[in-house]
Structure 1
C-alpha cells in the first residue's frame, strides 16, 4: 500500500482537506444506497421485475464493492490510493448513471454490478489511507470519515425524494450518478501530492531489508529446486514423477507469492480475527435489511411516503450520534470494542423485535433512532475491531478481509431477505429475523472474551 513516509507527510492543512474529501466519499456511497429505497417500488413496477431481483441487485452492488476489497491489497502496493479512487469512482458513477436507460431487471442487475465493481476500488482505499494521514489522531479521523455515510443516510434520501417528484426515478438516479463523481476530486487531491511515498511494509531499517532478502532467497530456492532432480529420471517418458515434482515445487512457490500478496497469513497469526469476520458477515445481513427496507416497512404499516422518508432522517441522525459516541469515547477511554459491539447488538435486536408490535409513527421513529444509533456504533466498531486485532502493518489486509465478509454477507442477505419477503409478504417477520441475526452477532463477538474468562477461572494461580 502507498503510505506516507514519516518525513514527507502532507502539510497539516492539506491532510484535513483530504479528510473532508474522504468524508464526502462515504456520504455519497451509503447515501445513494439508502436513497434507492425512496423509489424502490416505483422502479420495480417500471422495470416489470420482482422485489427479490431488485433487492439482489442492490445487495450485490454493495456486496461486490466489499468482496473485491481484497484486490486492493496488491493494488495499493503498486498504485496510490488517490489513483484508485479516481478510477473506481469514474466506473461507479458511469454504471449508476446508465441505469437511466435500463428497461428490465436484468439491465438493472448488470449495471448495479458495474457500479459495485467501481466502488470496490474506492471504499477500502478511502478507509485504509486514514492510518497513513492521521497516525496521531486515528480514532478521531476514522470517526469523521465514517460520519460521512451517516450524514448521507440522513440527508440524501430527502434530496432524492424531491428529485423523484421533479424528474421521476430515472432522472433522480441519473443525477445521483453525477453526484457520485465527487470522489474523483478527492482522488485528485490525494494524487496531486508531490510527497514521496513508500510501499506499506517496506522496511526502513536494515533488519527489515534483511528479512525481505531472506524471503526473496527462499522463494528463488523453491523455484530452482528442480535442478537437484536427476535429469535422466525426468526424461524417462515411462515415469512422470520428476515432472510432478517440478509442478509441485512451482505450486509451492505460487502459493507463497499468493499468501504474501494478499497477506492471508493474518488468519493464522491472529486467530481471533476469524470471529470478527464472522460477526461482520452477519452484520451485513441486518445492515442491508434495515437500510433498504426501512421505508417500505413503514409504508406497509400505513405511513404516508412523505412521513416514511422522515424515518431515514431520524435514523441517519441517530446513526451519526452512534458513530460520534463510539468513536470519540474510544479515543478518550480504553473501551473494549468487543464488549461495546456486543451490547449494541443486543439493543438493536430489541428494536427489530419491537417493530412487530407497532404501527404508530412515533414508536417507529424511536425504533429507527435506536437501530440507526446501533448500526452507526457497529460500523464505527468495524474499523476499531480490525485495528485492535492486528498490527498497524496488517490493518489494510484485515480491513480488506472484513470487507470481503461484509460483501458476501450483503449478497447472501439480499437474496435471503428478498426471498423471505416474497414468501411471507411480511416486513414484520423480516425484521424479527434481523433481530435474531443481531443476537447471533453478540454471541460470536463476545465468545473469545468469555472463553478467556473461563480459562482464567479454571487455571490455578
Structure 2
C-alpha cells in the first residue's frame, strides 16, 4: 500500500523533533545530579565547583543565545543546529576524560556553547515560523518534552551509571545528544512568496535586509533621497500575508528601521552627518594649539568611528527594544531570578534526598515525580494562557508563590511522601514558568521583535543558572545540608512574585491617567 497519500505535514514533524530536542536537553541536565557524589570523590573537587559546571552547561546554552540574533541573520536554523549538536556532544564526551574539577568545568562549558546554537534556533523556528497561529499551544507542547525528559531519562541514566560508572554514562549521553542533528535536518527554512511570485528562503531575505540596513547606516550624511533609493533597492517589500511569519516580521522590522535611519531631521543623524562630513569652513577657522600632534579632523574621525561601532552593536543585538519597551525589563529580571531557583531544583533535588538519608534510587523517584508535574505544568499553562482568563503576569506570580512554598517547606519535611509532594509542587511551578518566559516576551513586545525578546529571556535565564548552581552548592559546602540553600531559593521566588506584578500595576496606572 502506498503511503504517498498519508504524508505528515512538515510542521508536525518539526513540532515532534523540537519536542525530542528539549527532551534530551533537560533530561541530560537532570541526570547530572546522579553523578555528584562520585564526581566529588573521583575529581577531588567540591559540590560548588560541580554546581558551577552543571550550571554552565545549561547556562551557556541560554546566555549565549544572544549571539543567535546576528547569527540567524547570516545562517539558517538548520546550519546552526547541526554545528551546535556536534560541539555539544563532543563536550559531553570529553568530560568523561576530566581528571579535575577545573577540567570538568571547561568541558561542560564547551557543551553549553554547542547547545547555545541548538536550543534557541530550534525553539523560535518551530514556534514562530511553523505555528504563528497557535504560538502558546506550540510552546507548551514543545517544552513539555523537557518535563518528560526529566522524568524518564534519569531512570535510564541511573542504570547506565551502575553499569559503566559516571564516565561511561557521560560518553553515552554525549552520543545521545547527537540526535540534535536530526532536529536540525528537519528545520527547513520557511519560504516566502514575494510580489512577482518567486520564492526565496527566509535566510536569504533576512540577510538581504540586514545588508541593506548596514549599507544605509554607513551612508548617513548623504542625500536623503539617495538613501531612500538604496532602501528600495535593498529591502524586499513585505506582503500583509507574510506578517504572520517570523521571516515577514523581520523584513517588516528592517523596513521600519530604514525609515528611521533615512529621516535626516533627527538630531542624532544630523550630528552624525556633521561628524563624518564636517564643513570645510569649520575646519579652516578652528584654532590649532601649539604642541598638538593630533589634528582636529583626526579627532572627529575617531569620534565618528566610536559612534558607528556603538550604533552597529546596538542594531546588531537589537538593544533598543529595552528603551522602546521599558516594561520588558520586569519579565527580563523575573527570568534571571527564575534561573537561580530552577538550577537549585533541577540539580539538587536528588542530592537533597540523599542528604536526608534516602538512596539515590529514591532520589531518582523524586526526580520522576517532579518531572511528571513538570510535564503537566508545561502542557497546561499554554492552553490556559491562550484563553486569556488571567493575565500572564498574575499566573507567573502564582507560580512563584507555589515554588516558594515548596522550597520553604523542604526545611522541615522529613518523610519520603512529603518530599514527593514538594517535588510535585516545585516541578509543576518550574515547568509552567519555563513556558511563561516566552509568553511574557510576547505580551510585552511588538510582534515583529518577539523573537529577539525571547532571545533575551533565554539569556537572562542562562545568567541565573550558573549563579544558582554555584550559590546553592556553596551554601551546602558551608552547612552540609540543603535547608539553608532551599530557604534562600524560597526568598528569591518571593522577590520574583512581587516583581512580575509591576507591569500590571503600570498598565492600571496608565488606564487611570487616561
TM-score, normalised to structure 1's length?
A: 0.91
Match of 1:345 in 2: 400
User: Quick check: 75-84 or 223-232, which moved more?
Assistant: 223-232
Partner of residue 165 from structure 1, selected from 162, 165, 184: 162
Pairing of 1:61-210 with structure 2 (within 5 A): 61-129=57-125, 130-191=127-188, 196-198=200-202, 199=205, 204-205=237-238
Match of 2:37 in 1: 41
Cα distance in 2 between the residues matched to 1:397 and 1:336: 22
Cα distance in 2 between the residues matched to 1:369 and 1:215: 50
Q: CA deviation at 1:451?
A: 4.3
SS of the residue 1:117 aligns to: helix
Match of 2:219 in 1: none
Cα distance in 2 between the residues matched to 1:235 and 1:66: 53
Q: CA deviation at 1:150?
A: 0.7
2:376 corresponds to 1:372: no
Q: CA deviation at 1:156?
A: 0.5
Pairing of 1:422-441 with structure 2 (within 5 A): 422-441=477-496
SS of the residue 1:302 aligns to: coil
Partner of residue 21 from structure 2, selected from 20, 25, 31: 25
Instruction: Give CA deviations for 1:354-406 in whole Å, capped at 9, x if unaligned.
Output: 11111111000000000000001111111100111112211121111111111
Match of 2:450 in 1: 395
Q: CA deviation at 1:193?
A: 7.6
In 2 relative to 1, CA 277–192 (structure 1 residues): closer, same or farther, beyond 3 Å? closer
2:277 corresponds to 1:227: yes
Match of 1:270 in 2: 325
Match of 2:336 in 1: 281
Q: CA deviation at 1:203?
A: 5.5
Cα distance in 1 between the residues matched to 2:422 and 2:157: 23
In 2 relative to 1, CA 224–183 (structure 1 residues): closer, same or farther, beyond 3 Å? farther
Cα distance in 2 between the residues matched to 1:359 and 1:185: 44
Cα distance in 2 between the residues matched to 1:133 and 1:455: 35
User: Quick check: 402-411 or 447-456, which moved more?
Assistant: 447-456
SS of the residue 1:249 aligns to: helix
Q: CA deviation at 1:72?
A: 0.2
The alignment yields a C-alpha RMSD, in angstroms, of: 2.5
> Mind listing any 5+ residue stretches in structure 1 that lack a counterpart?
1-10
Does structure 2 conserve the Cα–Cα contact (< 8 Å) formed by 1:234 and 1:242? Answer: no
Match of 1:445 in 2: 500
Cα distance in 2 between the residues matched to 1:234 and 1:372: 69
Cα distance in 2 between the residues matched to 1:172 and 1:193: 38
Match of 1:316 in 2: 371
SS of the residue 2:332 aligns to: helix
User: Quick check: 114-123 or 422-431, which moved more?
Assistant: 422-431
Count of aligned residue pairs for this structure pair: 449
In 2 relative to 1, CA 301–267 (structure 1 residues): closer, same or farther, beyond 3 Å? same
Does structure 2 conserve the Cα–Cα contact (< 8 Å) formed by 1:223 and 1:253? Answer: no
Match of 2:230 in 1: none
> Mind listing any 5+ residue stretches in structure 2 that lack a counterpart?
1-6, 192-198, 210-234, 240-250
Cα distance in 2 between the residues matched to 1:31 and 1:61: 13
Cα distance in 2 between the residues matched to 1:210 and 1:291: 43
Instruction: Give CA deviations for 1:145-204 in whole Å, capped at 9, x if unaligned.
Output: 111111111000000000011111111110000000111011012248887323457653
Cα distance in 2 between the residues matched to 1:14 and 1:277: 33
Match of 1:6 in 2: none
In 2 relative to 1, CA 414–223 (structure 1 residues): closer, same or farther, beyond 3 Å? farther
Cα distance in 2 between the residues matched to 1:398 and 1:117: 20
User: Quick check: 84-93 or 298-307, which moved more?
Assistant: 298-307
